[in-house]
Amino acid sequence: MSKAATKANSGDDIVQWVTFKLADETYGINVMQVQEVLRISEIAPVPGAPHYVLGIINLRGNVVTVIDTRIRLGLPTAEVTDSTRIVIIETARHVVGILVDCVAEVVDVATSEVESAPNVGSDESANYIHGVASRDNELLILVDLNKLLTDEEWDELASL
Amino acid sequence: MKQDTRHDTLLEQQLALGAYLDALLTGSEAPVEQGVEPPEKPQARVSAAPGSEPAQASDTTGSVIPVWAETRFQALLFEVAGLTLAVPLAKLKGVVPNTQGLSEMPGHSPLFLGVTPYQGVQSKVVDTARFVLPKDRAAPLETGIAERSAHLVVIDEGRWALACSKIGDVIELEPAQVKWRTAAGKRLWLAGTVIELMCALLDIDELTQALSHEMA
């Protein structure tokens, strides 16, 4: 019997998370919200867009807005490298791309392993942290993509 | 001649540090320039009145003395940005070298360096230098974060860890050796100062409350 099945039988739900790196920290997003992972391509800037919007890309005929995740999370900016990826995600309201340093793997996390985010004086815009989990002596920061932006910001994105 | 000059310099530095600790205790702006007045001698403690609140008591001089310091107690010295602090062993959970690094949470307060696992708990690591030093001294901190957080002093059952550059000795103190904070003191996290050791003794209960308040 697989580990996941064992845990499921014991009543502990397993959620799969796609992990990625940002500024040496590991973040996770629910695999069900990930549509695809792209190598970085030409991103067309959008005049007047919020500062955390890198621009738009053409994804098989569809226009997708790309968010600079580092800027959104208040992290220092970094050069694009060979490992940089755009993760296309589907939130409750939009399909957007988020720029990440690199995509790592897909991990199983039992709900019982998820702790609430430590209160470290984060500002309100940090509500997107769903929780944290310890993986191999490393902290996995789980992101609630629906809260990555506020309702007003999602609306603003839609109007671009 | 040279020895005299060196002795004078050391004496001036000691006086300056003493005055600095004194200013910390009273809550006034800490002097950093030379020409400061020598600190007062530590006052002998008068027994706390029975029936006072459990965590600490005030004596007739207005000094606030924590319960753990009513008799001889032990404390661990550690260094933060050149300032020696002491944590009572009664309130210490553990001390660990910061070898595996800290996980930085996005959007965190500048008072925090990150989190680190400690015995199954995610300990929140405090930039102790930024917390204890007056703002004008904390802003231009000379040492980098790596050096400031070489060791972690874990308190409050692992919920908090104080980043420090160096761990010192465990000392034994008589309550009378400590110049206790008075009820009028603004820095509630400071239990008192030990002038003969040039160190500031932390009140961990008040410190964790202050940290939680910072996070609210």
Look over chain B and give the mean of its residue pLDDT values, rounded to a whole number.
Answer: 80
Query: From the CA of A121, how many Å to the nearest CA of chain B?
Result: 4
pTM recorded for the entire structure: 0.77
Q: And the tokens for B66?
A: 């924590």
Residue A125: CB atoms within 10 A of its CB come to: 16
Query: CB A122 to CB B117 under 8 A?
Result: no
Residue range A69-126, pLDDT digits in tens: 999 998 999 999 999 999 999 998 889 999 999 999 999 999 999 998 887 766 665 6
Residue range A117-140: average pLDDT? Answer: 80
Report how many domains make up chain B.
1
Using the predicted structure, report yes or no on whether residue B174 has a pLDDT greater than 60: yes
Q: Quick check: A121 and B215 CB within 8 A?
A: yes
Q: Is residue B50 part of a domain?
A: no
- The confidence score (pLDDT) of residue B50 equals 42
**Domain region containing B206:** 2-43+55-215
Residues 89-128 in B contacting A (C-alpha not used; CB under 8 Å): 100, 103-109, 111-112, 114-115, 117, 122, 124
Domain boundaries, chain A: 3-158
Q: Provide the total of helices (H) and of strands (E) in chain B, helices listed first.
A: 5, 13
Contacts of A13 by beta carbon, 8 Å cutoff, 6+ apart: A7, A110, A111
CA distance A100 to chain B (A): 14
pLDDT higher than 60, residue B54: no
Nearest Cα to Cα of residue B88 among B183, B210, B189, B195: B189
**Higher-scoring residue by pLDDT: B44, A72:** A72
Interface TM-score (ipTM) > 0.90: no
Contact yes or no for A132 and B115 at CB 8 A: yes
Q: Are the C-beta atoms of residues A19 and A107 closer than 8 Å to each other?
A: yes
Closest CA relative to residue B213, chosen from B101, B126, B89:
B126
Cα B179 from Cα A122, distance rounded (Å): 36
For chain A, how many residues are written?
160
pLDDT at residue B83 greater than cutoff 80 = yes
- The model's confidence at residue B168, banded by pLDDT at 50, 70 and 90, is very high
| CATH number corresponding to A3-158 | 2.40.50.180
Residue B48 lies in a domain: no
Kindly write down the DSSP assignment for every residue of B54-121, as one continuous string: SSEEE-TT-BEEEGGGSS-EEEEEEEETTEEEEEEGGGEEEEEE--S--BPPTT--TTEEEEEEETTE
> B115 near B98, Cβ under 8 Å?
no
CB contact under 8 A, B215 and A73: no
**B67 lies in some domain:** yes
